[in-house]
């Protein structure tokens, strides 16, 4: 199948990790077939394509599966290097910085948010929120110091870190209603708040973003399910 670029994305509409991949494909101007998975009845194709984690997103390129959102983003950037803008910078040091902040978003910021959502007592919740906010403040600092007044983490144009963080924006807005928390509060983290507005309204981004009211509904359903399960996870 010489020269064909058969792209298929296995995803789930509410997943921020899947959203990252959709955003990258959109920014690159790449066409693909999207397959919505029911995560409670995973398809043969999903199980075969991601036998290790059995999770979405999975990008299948000419029949070969790539898994894990950050791996997929870098793959798209490299396999389609001549198409559309580059996600990662050219300079190795700046690439290292981009990878660092992307890892920070996943390993520290998201981990803190997950802790906060699992907190059972008011005390635990307050402590977790404090930790959570500290990570957001660090990210604000990154945008200020590395961004140096430019509109995006990637500089003048959207880059890798913007996509990694951008994938979370739907849930960030939904959590405002679900938990009464504004993770990117314009008073406390003005740069991130402005970045969020700017990113969301990009032509290549807006159509991809999920319906926040649907996310809120989904979030409420998950909360109810968790409460019913008693202990939760």
* Interaction of residue 99 with other proteins, rule CB under 8 A: yes
Q: Which two tokens stand for residue 195?
A: 């970045």
Report how many helices (DSSP H) and strands (DSSP E) the chain contains, helices first.
10, 4
Say how far apart CA 19 and CA 49 lie, in whole Å. 19
CB of 167 to other proteins, least distance (A): 17
How close are the terminal C-alpha atoms of the chain, in Å?
45
Say how far apart CA 32 and CA 46 lie, in whole Å. 16
Site for other proteins in 33-52 (CB under 8 A): 52
b (16+ CB within 10 A) / e for 108-125: bbbebbebbbeeeeeeeb
CB of 66 to other proteins, least distance (A): 5
Say how far apart CA 109 and CA 135 lie, in whole Å. 5
* Interaction of residue 104 with other proteins, rule CB under 8 A: yes
* Interaction of residue 224 with other proteins, rule CB under 8 A: no
CB of 212 to other proteins, least distance (A): 29
Q: Which stretch binds other proteins (CB under 8 A): 96-104, 166-174, 202-210, 219-227?
A: 96-104
CB of 133 to other proteins, least distance (A): 15
Considering the complex, state which of residue 79 and residue 216 has its C-beta at the smaller distance from other proteins: 79
**5, 83, 114, 138: residue in contact with other proteins (rule CB under 8 A):** 138
Considering the complex, state which of residue 20 and residue 61 has its C-beta at the smaller distance from other proteins: 61
Say how far apart CA 65 and CA 63 lie, in whole Å. 7
Q: What is the DSSP letter of 108?
A: I
Question: What is the phi/psi pair of residue 193, to 5°?
Answer: -60, -45
Site for other proteins in 70-89 (CB under 8 A): 70-72, 74-75, 78-79
Give the DSSP per-residue string, 122-151: HHHHHHHHHHHHHHHHHHHHHHHHTTTT-S
CB of 163 to other proteins, least distance (A): 16
Considering the complex, state which of residue 105 and residue 215 has its C-beta at the smaller distance from other proteins: 105
The answer to whether 209 and 197 have CB atoms below 8 angstroms apart is no
CB of 62 to other proteins, least distance (A): 9
Binding stretches for other proteins (CB under 8 A): 52, 61, 64, 66-68, 70-72, 74-75, 78-79, 92-93, 95-96, 99-100, 103-104, 138
């Amino acid at each position: 199948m010489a020269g064909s670029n058969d792209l298929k994305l296995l995803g789930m509409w509410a997943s921020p990790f899947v959203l990252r991949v959709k955003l990258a494909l959109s920014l690159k101007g790449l066409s693909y077939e999207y397959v919505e998975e029911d995560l409670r009845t995973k398809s043969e194709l999903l199980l075969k394509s991601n036998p290790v984690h059995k999770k979405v997103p999975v990008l299948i390129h000419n029949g070969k599966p790539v898994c894990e959102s950050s791996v997929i983003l870098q793959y798209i950037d490299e396999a389609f290097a001549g198409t559309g803008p580059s996600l990662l910078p050219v300079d190795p040091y700046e690439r290292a910085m981009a990878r660092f902040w992307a890892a920070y978003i996943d390993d520290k910021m998201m981990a803190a948010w997950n802790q906060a959502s699992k907190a059972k007592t008011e005390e635990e919740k307050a402590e977790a929120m404090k930790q959570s906010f500290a990570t957001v403040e660090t990210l604000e600092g990154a945008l200020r110091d590395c961004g140096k007044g430019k509109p995006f983490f990637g500089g003048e144009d959207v880059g890798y870190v913007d996509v990694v963080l951008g994938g979370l924006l739907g849930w960030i807005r939904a959590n405002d209603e679900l938990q009464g928390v504004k993770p990117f509060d314009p008073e406390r983290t003005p740069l991130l708040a402005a970045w969020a507005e700017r990113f969301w309204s990009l032509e290549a981004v807006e159509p991809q973003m999920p319906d926040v009211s649907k996310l809120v509904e989904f979030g409420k359903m998950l909360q109810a399910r968790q409460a019913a399960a008693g202990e939760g996870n």
